Amino acid sequence: MRFTQLLPCLLSLSAPIWAKFEDTTPPIEIVGNKFFYSNNGSQFLMRGIAYQEDTSLISNTNLSYKDPLADVEACKRDVEHFKALNTNCLRVYAIDPDLDHDECMELLSEAGIYIIADLSQPKTSINRNDPSWDLDHYERYTEVIDKLSEYSNVLGFFAGNEVTNNKSNTDASPFVKAAVRDMKKYIEDSNGMRKIPVGYSSNDDEDTRIAIADYFACGSVEERADFFGINMYEWCGNSTYATSGYKDRTEEFEHLPVPIFFSEYGCNEKRPRLFTEVQTLYSPLMSDVWSGGIVYMYFEEDNKYGLVSIDGSSVSILDDYKYYSSEINNISPSYARASNEETATSTITCPDTDSTTWQASADLPPTPDKDFCECIAKSFECVVAEDVDEEDYGEIYADVCGRIDCSDISVNGTSGDYGDYSFCSHRDKLSFVLNLYYHDQNENSSACDFNGSASVNRDAESTSSCGVGSSRRSQGTRSATSTNSNSQSTTSGSRSNTNDANNSHIPNMSKFRLVSYVGFVTAIVGGISFVL
């Protein structure tokens, strides 16, 4: 090959990954436990505001959420207020990956403002009562990453918000950590995509606050969160560093090897909020451990946390705005330099699961595999009937899983046991157990009926090309070596984005487990809403 032909290839291979708007907002990178501007190595301390309207307060809409980064007129209306409030970061809780975000993201970039975005949306988020990490979640999260990764002023992504919120549901955390792991891997493996951090936003529950921070920061670099946020509402009114709890929290989290910050803050027990905590948060008392914070929130709503009141294109400044402006515009932080930070990647030990307040396994659910699910579904000889509504799946699950072992589709975040089919679609998982029962009954036609809810699939195919990863995955499916259908088988003020029960892992489901399945499917069909 001539050199002139080879040169473009070499340039392509060695060219840096550029994102939109890098001239005004250079990408933020992590060194040690802090954020830094990638172009000059100076520290980035979040001076953030939560920015997402509650759609229930918007007339003439059936939306479950409104994408704040797709509303250009609102962005134009609000960006001047963000600048007046010395803002360099906005948190958004749900975006629509099908909409255009260029204009808003450019407006924000010109103002020096970065975005930290939650990957979920109200109807596709990890449910703390019946947690799962499945294809629907994976597809939603990767769509958001694909959409926002092109902008240099995207600081990072939250894989979950307050999913575990007390000691009764710590078993949900492995599913969120699996989401962190898989989204980090997705970003790493995507050609031309810059490395964008993925983390978690927790509540400040006294029983779990230390364990959950350690859990998301522990283990391998591939699995752990890149950063950790806490929705912090301890400082109310005229408090102090010591009496508010800030001192205790700083000492408790100073060992974390990743950046930590207030993913929400601003107690409203007394209004107007004075925001006297701002000076302390950005002082040397805290800035070596904490990377700033995000005030909850911009819009005044029923929960009374707003800085402004909106009426169409009109913005009314509230007293909270005035007090916050006075404080945030008078901070004098001491900024670190990336060159002075420890660059070695360190990890910490995962919390003990024997505790009565923390029972989340360090073993994580598998990565959802769409190709496997679609391939294996073709092998089922007994499937759920086409005319069965998903809202009726719960009753069918209760029936069939009372007769056979359904552990192949079950999950248990406490023991770390996850069925090989647990990440597939609800239809495919139900068809899997129907098929399992059908074979258990020696392919008797009456065993594939369930009052008309199941039917025999005459077009079942071999599983030989499905990349079967374990012997269990070949059970209950049409065997690659079978020659007929008689193949044998064996058997806070926060916008929390989850609903409020562990899954059992037994040969025949208990009454409790059956009820859980019915409830799980009902929750999925009904959707999951932000808790305001």
User: Which residue do the tokens 């705005």 mark?
Assistant: 321
* Closest to 413 (Cα-Cα) out of 116, 188, 178: 178
Tokens of 104: 């808003």
What is the sign, positive or negative, of the torsion defined by CA atoms of 82, 35, 216, 131? positive
Q: Is 174 helix (H, G, I), strand (E, B) or coil?
A: helix
Residue pair 531/142 in contact (Cβ under 8 Å)? The answer is no
Beta strands in 386-498 (DSSP E): 411-412, 417-418, 454-456
Residue 248: which H helix or E strand, with range?
helix 246-253
Cβ pair 55, 65 in contact under 8 A? yes
Strands 154-161 and 198-202: parallel
Q: Is 251 a catalytic residue?
A: no
Q: Which is nearest to 184 in space by CA: 194, 175, 174?
A: 194
Main-chain phi, psi angles of 395, to 5 degrees: -65, -35
Q: Nearest 5 degrees, angle CA 24-CA 26-CA 29?
A: 155
Torsion of CA 351, 130, 438, 399, to 10 degrees: 130
CB-CB contact of 50 with 298 (8 Å): yes
Q: What's the CA gap between 399 and 418, in Å, rounded?
A: 21
Say which of 162, 277, 300, 461 is annotated catalytic.
162
Alpha-carbon distance of 81 to 85, in angstroms, equals 6
| Catalytic residue list contains 390 | no
Q: Which residues is 418 bridged to in the sheet?
A: 411
DSSP assigned state of 395: H
Annotated catalytic residue within 223, 264, 327, 461: 264
d(CA 359, CA 361): 6
Question: Would you say 414 and 463 are in contact if contact means Cβ atoms under 8 Å apart?
Answer: no
Bridge-based pairing state of the strands 46-50 and 290-295: parallel
C-alpha separations of 521 from 162, 177, 178, 422 in Å: 21, 23, 21, 14
Separation in Å, CA 130 to CA 125, 173, 320: 11, 11, 38
Task: Write out the two tokens for 7.
Answer: 């040169």
Which residues are known to be catalytic?
Answer: 162, 264
